[in-house]
Structure 1
Amino acid sequence: MRIIIITGASSGMGREFARQLDGYLEHIDEFWLIARRTDRLHELAKELKKDCRIFQCDLSQRSSMVELIQELETKKPKVKMLINCAGYGKTGKFEKLNYQDVTGMIDVNCRALSALTYSVLSYMCSNSRIINLASVAAFMPQPEFSVYAASKSYVLSFSRALRKEIDDRGIWVTTICPGPVNTEFFDVADKKNKESWYKSKFMVRCEDVVNRALYDSLKKRDISIYGIPMKCMYVLSKVFPHRILTKIIHKLNMYNSDENV
């Protein structure tokens, strides 16, 4: 049995990956969809042509993947794609954030992604793919978004190192680093400031980011960045000292906060 595993499949990028992959992968037998909100997973499963297996997992909890791991051990499927989209971010000064959100971002964005990848790797065969969702925030430290940006830097660094370790097995890792995408992300991240000018100005369609990511994964590229503005951001992060860039980001955030008082 050949399967694709997608985390965070109840909304946003994860859901869009399932929709786009559903149309043209005839050799895939099942999608294994993972998220907290099973009602949304059932809705998605009804849209898809492929058979779907649904797993309710709160990836912030260390015990949440027990059922999935047991199913892997029992079925011993060939995992052709692992797409790690589960994650979230909270904006604000670090000391003002909720303790559960601080630790939760690390648990979901870093620990769970690593744990699931570790558990799935032994079931992957040659010419398989891993796609990990990072962010343009991975390129540099971001004041008022410190934990999220650091967690996505981990995803990018981990993915690049893992790619080198397993390329001799013919398994290719691609990291997606989008800017603002029209998903529910900002509803969770920052309800107060979600309409800030620099977010809305560079907002792109989820469908386009996923389409580009699948193309880059097919081409065995290590990183997928959609859009010229975000590619420029990547170059800037390599050229300019981060102490200067963090100062600029901090000022932009202060300006935006003043706008929304």
Structure 2
Amino acid sequence: MVLGGPLVRPDESFDRDPGSYSVERALGLVAALALLSALSVVVIGAGVAHAIPDEATVENPERPPASACDDESTVNLTVDGEPVTFATPETCDEPARVPTDRLVWRAVGGELPGQFFAPMLGWLLVGGVFHAVTRSDGESPAGPMTVAAWGRVSRVLGTLLLALVLAWTAAGSGVAPGTPTAEATIRTIGWAFEASVPLAIGVRTAAIGWGAWIEYHGLRRVRDLPPRRALLVVGLVAGVSLVVSLWALLSVG
């Protein structure tokens, strides 16, 4: 199988010999895709951070309210005739306002694990389904797992393309330097992202269709499936993937 061939000629690139495939090589491809998927979050974060003026700040979400950060906060409660006194929380040492880009990169860090493991989880689920519904006695899962891995390529490339578009959109949505807070920029970026939802739907649909085309020809050659059965298996998986993707995009928009 020629490297990259399944992306452009899946009808000729997949070998009919089951010994040509291994789960380990498929896992290596998916691991590379996981890194690209995580990179997409970093790209978006860079675009958002670039749009926000360096001096812009927001309220620190980790700092308690000012009323809780006096030297000592006393409430009108008594125990044995003595007022109850609460010590100042340690988080009161945090600044009241922090640079906005710090929170942006903190949010990026929170999204990285999920974005990294998403291609791996999708590969395991789809590859497992392909193997379960097409196997004969004693057949190895290596072929269907390889087909599922190549099917993930189009989806991750679509995600990375969307990330570049959103980063470019965010970077062009900033307000003029000198703005003391980031609220105006954040609102503008949010509106720009909402306007990009139709484009995101188109890209996601095309990526899923591309992946389904790869998987259809891959399963036909790897498991020697008749066209109708291969179309049914791949179509059901692609349909579920499309519904989930559209729901996620529309819920954000």
Query: Whose relative contact order is higher, 1 or 2, with alpha carbons under 8 Å and at least 6 apart?
Result: 2
The interval holding the TM-score normalised by the smaller chain is under 0.3
Larger helix fraction of residues: 2
TM-score, structure 1 as length reference: 0.24
Larger strand fraction of residues: 1
